[in-house]
Amino acid sequence: MSLRLIPTRYPTRSLTASYASTLKTFAKTPTFYRRFHDTPNAQNTATQQSFQNDPNHMIPTNAPQGARIATPTPASPLSVSSRLTHPGKVSPNEYLKAFNNKELISFFMIGLCTLNKPILKLCIKLFPYVPMAVIKALVYRIYCGGETLEEVKQTGLRLHERGINNMMISLTIEACDGNDNVDPEFIIDETVKSINGILVPHITKMIETCDKNINDIPSGYVALKPTGFVKNAAHVLKNYNNGEEAAFAELVAKASKACQAVYDANKKLAEIYPERTAPFVVAVIDAEKYELQPGVYELQRQLYQKFNKLNEPCYVVGTIQMYLSDSASLLAYEERLAQEKNYRLGLKLVRGAYIHSEKERATIIHKTKQDTDDNYNAGITYCIDSILNQKDKESTIGHLVVASHNAESLKLASSKVYTQENATNVNKSNVVLGQLLGMADSVTYDLIKNYQIGNVIKYVAWGPPLETKQYLLRRLEENGDAVKNDNGWPLVKAAFSTLMGRMFKASS
Ligand SMILES: Cc1cc2nc3c(=O)[nH]c(=O)nc-3n(C[C@H](O)[C@H](O)[C@H](O)COP(=O)(O)OP(=O)(O)OC[C@H]3O[C@@H](n4cnc5c(N)ncnc54)[C@H](O)[C@@H]3O)c2cc1C
């Protein structure tokens, strides 16, 4: 395995010594992680089972120094490690009880579609021809939060019933392949409405009603898709500094409008709740296909500079796709730029969703899944250490969303954040774990119910079903990747038995 420390696009000297050493540590001692990654399927099944059934696996046997969790200390109410000795025993399908019958039928169908690779490939091929009514009835409700602000608000309340106290909402109108339906004015107006109409009332309600410390409520996020903010966005992003400067400035202005709404909402909420240290709401820039990313990175930098001021919470979060072989260098480069230009960095680390459609996959994406995993785990380790090891609002990296369904990565992040020594560290509310709505629900359930980890959110795509079709297609593709732990035959069986159990209960 090779970790590509030599960047393809970013200066070598940008790798800070500590980040380089974190990467090297992961490169040298991956055996614990590798045990779970021999094949994609074995990986997730094993990981999932170990996470749910065997709390002792929470301690990596051969994990790098930085990845080790603290010694269990039962005295701390906040310590994950202490809870690991007494996890609640739940049946593996317990999480399905929170879903209604229609949703269970959808899970049943998704299980059938993901039974094996050939069936999934066929479903993906047929997907564009499936009538919208069928998609809406069978898959939309699982992966999407609704068509209107009101429906998304209701989704938020339903998530709250499952212990998930906030969301990353995303008006999903995809345009990276060109989409004539894109009306940037409409998208930005709806996005601003969603900040003030969904996120602000939702976090206010959570603060007022949850029996929790105000800093234990996760921030609410609005995801901004750069391809939605200007006509012909893909061309503009590719040529942002090569003839499309004016259109790019328009795109930045649109994104700034949403960030300004986020900034203003935070200032107002901070007056009402001054004791909160983490941001109330955050704007997140989503990452797109590789060829658009240079424009997206430039957008992120301009927004950081404008909104992430020193000694303030980070209101803007950018995304780095850690499956990219130059992502380690990019992360270090972004940190150095932020230090030079006196702003703070908010980051969402993802593995990356476009592996199936990247034309240059062989040259731009890590050669193996293991390389991506090591790089991802090194990245979150580095960011968490940066956030936790400095005083409130003093670290350059000020906010992290660990956006993943991988139980190993989530476990690693949780075990670093929720320790006895961090019990009173106010910065820990700036590390949030996020999963997509409809994905890895058993992992989300486990984090919340068995390990009482409060900083968990779901990414809630919303919008017209027709426009979300690309998003839904990617979710299907992703189900065919490694996120198989609660898909396929186990999901068919689990959904069926939960439905049957309900029917028998009702008839007796
Ligand atoms: C809150 C949230 C926000 C998100 N935002 C974005 C976004 O802005 N942009 C974006 O692109 N994605 C985004 N995603 C999607 C995310 O990239 C995928 O969900 C993620 O890649 C799935 O991986 P995982 O971390 O769950 O782990 P796993 O399921 O363990 O890993 C699967 C991933 O590993 C990588 N991989 C698989 N096989 C190989 C291989 N052979 N070689 C190298 N790498 C491999 C791929 O990235 C694949 O998706 C977001 C996800 C969440 C939860």
pLDDT, position 145: 93
Query: Can you tell me the distance from the alpha carbon of 430 to that of 261, in angstroms, rounded to the nearest whole number?
Result: 20
- Quick one: DSSP state of residue 14? G
Q: Is 372 in the pocket of ligand 1 (CB under 6 A)?
A: yes
Helix or strand holding residue 204 (H, E): helix 200-209
Distance CA 259, CA 219 (A): 15
Q: Judging by beta carbons within 10 Å of its beta carbon (0-12, 13-18, 19+), is residue 197 exposed, middle or buried?
A: middle
Would the CB of 434 count as within 6 Å of ligand 1?
A: yes
pLDDT tens sequence for the chain (508 residues): 333 333 345 554 445 566 666 666 655 543 333 322 222 333 333 333 333 333 332 222 233 333 322 322 332 333 444 443 333 444 667 888 888 898 899 889 888 888 888 888 888 888 888 888 888 888 888 889 999 999 999 999 999 999 999 999 999 876 555 555 678 999 999 999 999 999 999 999 999 998 888 999 999 999 999 998 999 999 999 999 999 999 999 999 999 999 999 999 999 999 999 999 999 999 999 999 999 999 999 999 999 999 999 999 999 999 999 999 999 999 999 999 999 999 999 999 999 999 988 888 989 999 999 999 999 999 999 999 999 998 777 899 999 999 999 999 999 999 999 888 888 898 999 999 999 998 888 888 888 888 778 899 999 999 887 767 777 887 777 766 544 556 788 889 889 999 988 888 777 6
Dihedral, CA atoms, 70, 74, 77, 80, nearest 10 degrees?
A: 40
Residues 6+ apart with CB under 8 A from 367: 2, 325
How far does residue 323's CA lie from ligand 1's centre (Å)? 8
Q: Give the model's pLDDT for residue 130.
A: 87
CA distance 324 to 355: 10
Q: Determine whether the shortest distance from the Cβ of 459 to ligand 1 is under 6 A.
A: yes
Q: What is the DSSP letter of 312?
A: S
Question: Using a 6 Å cutoff on CB, does residue 225 contact ligand 1?
Answer: no
What pLDDT does 179 receive? 52
Q: Which two tokens stand for residue 499?
A: 């439905």
- Tell me, using a 6 A CB cutoff, whether residue 365 lines ligand 1: yes
Retrieve residue 395's tokens: 């670290």
Ligand 1 close to Cβ of residue 404 (< 6 A): yes
Of all protein residues, whose CA lies closest to atom 38 belonging to ligand 1? 369
Best residue among 39, 350, 462 to mutate for probing ligand 1, ranked by most atoms within 8 Å of CB:
350
Helix or strand (DSSP H, E) at 319: strand 316-321
**Closest by alpha carbon to 100, among 495, 504, 506?**
495
Separation between Cα atoms, residue 214 and residue 235, nearest integer Å: 43
355 lines ligand 1 (CB under 6 A): yes
CA distances 505 to 459, 471, 500, 501, Å, are: 33, 37, 8, 6
**So what's the pLDDT on residue 479?**
67
Ligand 1 contact via 286 beta carbon (within 6 Å): yes
Residue 92 near residue 485 (C-beta atoms within 8 A): no
Q: How far is the CA of 288 from the centre of ligand 1 (A)?
A: 12
What string of DSSP letters covers 102-136? HHHHHHHHHHHHTSSHHHHHHHHHHGGGS-HHHHI
Pocket test for ligand 1, best of 44, 360, 409, 481 (most atoms within 8 A of CB): 481
Q: How far apart are CA 486 and CA 492, in angstroms?
A: 9
In short, whether 287's Cβ falls inside 6 Å of ligand 1 is yes
Half-sphere CA count of 280, side-chain side, radius 13 A: 29
Instruction: Return the residue matching tokens 């006895």.
Output: 420
What tokens appear for 445 in the block?
């359930």
Which numbered atom of ligand 1 lies nearest the CA of 285?
8
Decide whether any atom of ligand 1 lies within 6 Å of the 353 Cβ: yes
Residue closest via CA to ligand 1's atom 3 equals: 403
- The residues facing 350 across adjacent strands are 321
* pLDDT tens-digit readout, 265-280: 999 999 999 999 999 9
CA–CA dist 311, 299 (Å, integer) = 22
pLDDT given at position 85 = 32
Tell me if 70 CB under 6 Å of ligand 1: no
Cβ atoms of residues 177 and 234 within 8 Å: yes
Task: Kindly give the number of the ligand 1 atom that is closest to the alpha carbon of 43.
Answer: 30
CA dihedral 282, 287, 293, 299 (to 10 degrees): -10
What is the distance between the alpha carbons of residues 502 and 508, in angstroms, rounded to a whole number? 10
Q: Measured in angstroms, how far is the CA atom of residue 438 from the centroid of ligand 1? A: 15
Ligand 1 centroid distance, CA of 404 (Å): 7
Determine whether the shortest distance from the Cβ of 351 to ligand 1 is under 6 A. Answer: yes
Are the C-beta atoms of residues 489 and 49 closer than 8 Å to each other?
no
**Nearest one of 325, 307, 320 to 400, comparing CA atoms:** 320
Distance CA 394, CA 430 (A): 12
pLDDT at 8: 46
End-to-end CA distance of the chain: 58
Judge contact between 230 and 250, C-beta under 8 A: yes
SS3 readout for 326-379: CHHHHHHHHHHHHHHHCCCEEEEEECCCCCCCCCCHHHHECCCHHHHHHHHHHH
Atom of ligand 1 nearest to the CA of 322: 47
**How are beta strands 456-462 and 166-171 bridged, if at all?**
parallel
Atom of ligand 1 nearest to the CA of 168: 1
Of ligand 1's atoms, which has the minimum distance to the CA of residue 458? 1
Any idea where the domains of the chain sit in the sequence? 89-144+469-507, 149-464
Query: Quick one: tokens of 364?
Result: 């731009």
CB distance 350 to ligand 1 below 6 Å: yes
Domain over 149-464 is classified CATH 3.20.20.450: no
In the numeric block, which tokens belong to residue 374?
């090591």
